[in-house]
Structure 1
């Protein structure tokens, strides 16, 4: 949704060339992305990065032959679910540090500061003030008191997850940083649009024996992060629209879902 990617062939070898859109320079710190994505490659969860220009965001990476974007139907395959869980745990449990801290509330406040027409944001829906207030309550309850922060991808849409022979790779580390692992899990479940049964099936693999014991607490925290993500990417979309990038009803969809999720969360 944010970049142009080209398949490039040089001397019978293939690479992916990324050309970012101009507005991304406001939203993304390329120095952070460069450091984190190379570290993720060292960990083994990212493809190899061959060239990265931290000023322009132009990037050249290895083309992963035989890979494809993860599909929702893949997540119903036990072997694939185990591999996704293994990859996430490998990232989240590594004793390494990304160069930056990703705070969803800080990102939200920053995105709001970038809006040229803040009145459009504040008047977009009658519940905006309530949503913002709820966001701050969740920050006080969960986000600002995380006991564990880990290397996180922070943008786990299915398009950023590649499957190759039952091995999982995560690509596009633009929003990566140290964060609660729950943020990644919440994003993955939200973006894959898994229902309650499918979500619990995955969570049983990721959390193991811990999940049945703390099921309700884990699910409530996941929903809290999903609420924050929908509100964050809603504002992100408004910024894009102010710079003539349009994604249909994406902003409305994100906002309306955040309202539904808010009603499910127990404070």
Structure 2
């Protein structure tokens, strides 16, 4: 933290401030900065400090900045105060509240507030880029194989099933909306009245059902909670809506598992990325092999 050149940010120029590490973040260092001088107004912001080489994970920092600003315009994201591409820093306003944990979603009020926030994001300004998990999965898999990174021996056994999922979702395509695409529990900030959404590192216009399925996957929702989550978002979901969310949860698990395997081979962080990726792969494999898999494909195609 001491090595961060925070004083080079214009918003902090000439100000005295304290810096506090924020937990979480597997590709960034996040710190809270609060002014300690008598200048009005006081400052309370978060600075996201990213690594210098996001290429392996296909991260577009410029798109992250612009989409973060769009999310703020939609009323669910923190305001952008400064973006310094040269310093790999993005300064945003601090959002009071607490980051959710998986268990919080079992509270109906929290689930409803979270779904309201996601709908607001999806109804807001379009993002500057698109996100396609099938393209990203192909890119990540190519990187792993070209570089000889470790991969579960059975990963490719589901290649044909993966293609079936892609074809089923494409049979009844839906308009894309601005999506965060990485809404794990910690990226929901709940102030007790409203939920805010943070971290637009992987954001892009996408199928709304991927957003819902990704959260169901990352937060390990039960089948019942996935149903409740889908209902909180859609109100009166169709069988195709429900099936699409479940298939997109599979897409999240199968695709993002590769992110973990790349990080396992390349990251210097003291974190077990291999187990992180393996857990998601095993979750995806269980869905591929579940007797309901063919039914889900059919319900999505029938739309």
Following superposition, the deviation at residue 223 of structure 1 comes to 2.3
For the pair shown, the structure with the greater C-alpha radius of gyration is 2
Match of 2:49 in 1: 19
- Aligned counterparts of 2:227 and 2:66: Cα–Cα separation in 1: 33
Change (3 A) 1:231 1:78: closer
Q: Does 1:250 align with 2:276?
A: yes
Aligned length in residues: 259
* Structure 2 residue runs without a partner (length 5+): 1-25, 298-303
Following superposition, the deviation at residue 231 of structure 1 comes to 1.8
Match of 1:101 among 115, 122, 130: 130
Match of 2:33 among 8, 16, 38: 8
Q: Does 1:28 align with 2:28?
A: no
Match of 1:47 in 2: 78
Q: Scaled by the length of structure 1, what TM-score is found?
A: 0.88
Following superposition, the deviation at residue 163 of structure 1 comes to 0.5
Q: Does 1:205 align with 2:232?
A: yes
Match of 2:5 in 1: none
Deviations 1:157-204 (A, max 9, x none): 111110012211100101111100000000111222221222222222
Deviations 1:3-22 (A, max 9, x none): 11112122442211111134
Match of 2:300 in 1: none
Deviations 1:19-69 (A, max 9, x none): 11344344201111111110110111101111112455311111123x110
- Aligned counterparts of 2:246 and 2:147: Cα–Cα separation in 1: 27
RMSD: 2.1
Are the equivalent residues in 2 in contact too, given 1:223–1:261 (CA < 8 A)? no
Match of 1:225 in 2: 248
- Aligned counterparts of 1:220 and 1:154: Cα–Cα separation in 2: 18
Are the equivalent residues in 2 in contact too, given 1:34–1:54 (CA < 8 A)? no
Q: Does 1:154 align with 2:181?
A: yes
Match of 1:135 in 2: 162
